Amino acid sequence: MPERAFRTEWWSSAFARRLSMEARYLYIYLYYNQHCNQAGLYEITPSYIAFESGLPESSLPELMKSLEPEVKWYPDKYLVWVKSFMREQTKSPKFLVAAVKSLEKMNLDDDIMAEFRAFNESISGISIAHRPLSKRECVIIRDNFQCQYCDKELTESADYEVDHVIPSLRGGKDIYTNLVAACMSCNHKKQSRTPLEAGMPVPNPTSFHAAQATFILRNDPEKCRRWLEMFPYRYNDIDSILVNVDQYQTNIPSESESVSESETVNSSEGRRKGLGKGRDNHFGEVAKAFEAEIGRLTPMVGEALGGMVDEYGYQEVLEAIRITAGGPQKTLRYVQGTLKKRAEDRGKGGSTTKKDDPNKFIKGKYGHVVQR
């Protein structure tokens, strides 16, 4: 993170005035060093702090203690948390997303993450989103909490492994169509072999997405219960993951019913109103068109597309995707701009043929003129 904001008033604050020169220097170092991420909670060893700052390592415990409560040090975990860091930075959505991603990579203990989230939400007024569902969670949700080799019901995280059907050592990719849920016994039996080589059934994993897993959890109480039993730390996140779940109840196909990809891809619209009121009949078509013509369908993109379907109708969204695919900028923002412009032209009595003219110039979001 090359740039960061710092309050100049800090120098005259009561906290800064009581610090020694060495403690002030250490605080500034912890705030500005190259290891500090967007969250202000990052990994760094005492020896590295001493090496870069020039302060004796033996002096760090006393200096860190003098920085409390503004700085929290976890020497046994090699973690430093500059508590005011996020409060001083921008609160734009992009910055918060980057902050959350920086924490996801660290695999923090649940108690540390909970304290970090509570502090920023209650003191700084910054809401920290829950950690997205991991690939490990998504695989077992997709596979109905069963080992795909022996059909054993998986009830404990310690008895569950994500297995690569084609071993990674032999070129197998870390993608959903090559990943299955396996019990520890089958995982050890298979080792770095293919199922055929190990004399085991050959599973047929399907493509999947975290948004689909979230959709299932919101609408299938039994699977949600089993998920929480497998990953009990998720009790801290359940309110944000299952927000307003009562509004979005819909019919989940039974185990005997086949679910097509176009039906399950509806996942990310679950947070928005209107689920079960017509949108789910066409959202899969819109999502497929977007992935085929524009780019990858992430949960955030799914939310945006769902909002467009609600506001403009699925046929209009499909047309906007088609127009965008033939233009110079194949982006979600361009789809949104196309929809808005078409709506404005219709309000002015404009011609559909004229609006779809790929050579027409339109006004961009920031006032510049771009070619459709």
DSSP per residue over 213-225, as a string? HHHHHHH-HHHHH
Claim to verify: residue 293 and residue 323 sit in the same structural domain: yes
> What total of structural domains would you count in the chain?
3
| Terminal CA-CA length for the chain | 35
Distance CA 254, CA 266 (A): 17
Claim to verify: residue 275 and residue 201 sit in the same structural domain: no
Could you tell me what percentage of the chain is helix, strand and coil, using 3-state DSSP and rounding each to the nearest 5? Answer: 55, 10, 40
Domain assignment present for residue 224? The answer is no
Domain assignment present for residue 182? The answer is yes
Question: Identity (one letter) of the amino acid at 321?
Answer: I
Q: Which residues of 94-130 are buried (b: 16+ CB within 10 A; e: fewer)?
A: ebbeebbebbeebebeeebbebbbebbeeebebebeb
Claim to verify: residue 272 and residue 352 sit in the same structural domain: yes
Structure tokens at 204: 């047929």
- Residues 98-140: pLDDT tens digits? 777 777 777 777 778 778 877 877 665 555 655 677 889 999 9
With 0-12 / 13-18 / 19 or more C-beta atoms within 10 angstroms meaning exposed / middle / buried, residue 171 is exposed
Q: Which domain holds residue 63?
A: 8-122
Interacting residues of 247 by C-beta distance below 8 A, sequence separation 6+ = 273, 275
Determine the length of the chain. 372
Max intra-chain CA distance, the chain: 76
The reported pLDDT for the residue numbered 257 is 35
Domain assignment present for residue 245? The answer is no
Q: Count Cα neighbours of 218 within 13 Å in the Cβ-side half-sphere.
A: 28
Residue ranges of the chain with per-residue pLDDT less than 70: 1-4, 90-94, 96-97, 122-131, 236-237, 239-282, 297-300, 348-372
Distance CA 150, CA 55 (A): 58
The reported pLDDT for the residue numbered 213 is 86
Residue after which a domain boundary falls, among 181, 209, 237? 209
Residue after which a domain boundary falls, among 122, 144, 173? 122
Domain assignment present for residue 179? The answer is yes
The reported pLDDT for the residue numbered 364 is 55
Residue after which a domain boundary falls, among 74, 91, 122? 122
Claim to verify: residue 98 and residue 17 sit in the same structural domain: yes
